[in-house]
Amino acid sequence: MLLSEIVSTFVRMCATSDYEEHVRYVSLVRREGGEPVIGITYREMSVDPDLVASFVLAVIIFENRQLRRFVKEGYVVVIEEGKEMVGLLIIDKVEDEDPYREVLKGIIRTFETVYEAQLESWKGDVRPFREFALSILGAYPYRRFDWELVPRLSRKSDPAFEGYAPIPWSVGEADKKIQTVVSFVNGKRTILEIMQSTGLSQEDMVAIVSILDHFGWATFGRKITAETYLVKVSDPHKFLVGVYGEQINRFVELCDGTKNLEDVAALLSYSMEVLLTVAKSLVDAGVLGFGET
């Protein structure tokens, strides 16, 4: 079974749970020499995941003992062995570990297939393997988002903006895919629309969106359409009144949660295209918020 098929099955099985919040650490290690090829830390732990991994690997590789599960300070280490690689997955205690184990198996099989030649002629350089993080994060993303959310790149004009944090997995093909997604982020397209425009797979898109969020490259909000209901949060700032005119106050007052933007447009002289642009600016400025209708 392909990794994408395993992941799809896993997501369906865990659709009503917060399973991703239980993932703490994933690592792939070479069986023969014990070299860590790639490791991804998801969340803080009370123990050093690298030390836990080193202990488990010492037992498996150097003592030649079979070990499929290990518990340390409330964390569960799920262990799977492939032909060339050992996979370690540290998670919180959960009722059913099998779905996590099946995805880990798929990750190992996919890695060994993709890098078969490099593993057979091992040269000790692990840098070419970093781009595989995209496959791991497609299975275990840092965070999963609603496909209808709209990503926006972090604004350099924001005083709190300190520059984009470097993404360690942005190398090779992974870098090309990440930069492709970034080029399509314009604050208007949804995650789903970006995926359809770029032609990327669902797993790649899940991974990249979670990466952009994790490293602070993007924020996410709801898309504003003619059917959107907005409510007033505060009075428009003087700057906004100066840009859009006094009629902006009328627009804000009409957004009372009982009328969608199509209804509001019928009461104003704005075209729908202009109204959507103004509404987005007001939501970004905190003047309007989303209604629940």
Domains (range + CATH), the chain: 3-139 (3.30.450.190), 149-222 (1.10.10), 229-290 (1.10.10)
Q: Over the chain, what is the mean pLDDT?
A: 86
At residue 135, the pLDDT reads 94
DSSP string across 115-178: THHHHHT--S--GGGGGGHHHHHHHS-SS---TTEEEEEPPTTSTT---PPP-TT-SHHHHHHH
At residue 15, the pLDDT reads 44
At residue 237, the pLDDT reads 84
List strands edge to edge, sheet with 36-41. 36-41, 23-30, 85-92, 75-81, 69-72
Q: Burial letters for 141-171: b for 16+ Cβ neighbours within 10 Å, e otherwise?
A: bbeebeeebbbbebeeeeeeeeeeeebebbb
Ranges in the chain, pLDDT < 70: 1-19, 63, 155-162, 292-293
pLDDT 10s digits, 198-244: 999 999 999 999 999 999 999 998 889 899 999 999 988 888 888 77
Length of the chain: 293
At residue 131, the pLDDT reads 95
- Report whether 260 contacts 224 (CB < 8 A): no
pLDDT 10s digits, 156-165: 545 555 678 8
At residue 83, the pLDDT reads 92
The pTM is what?
0.79
DSSP state of 263: H
At residue 49, the pLDDT reads 82
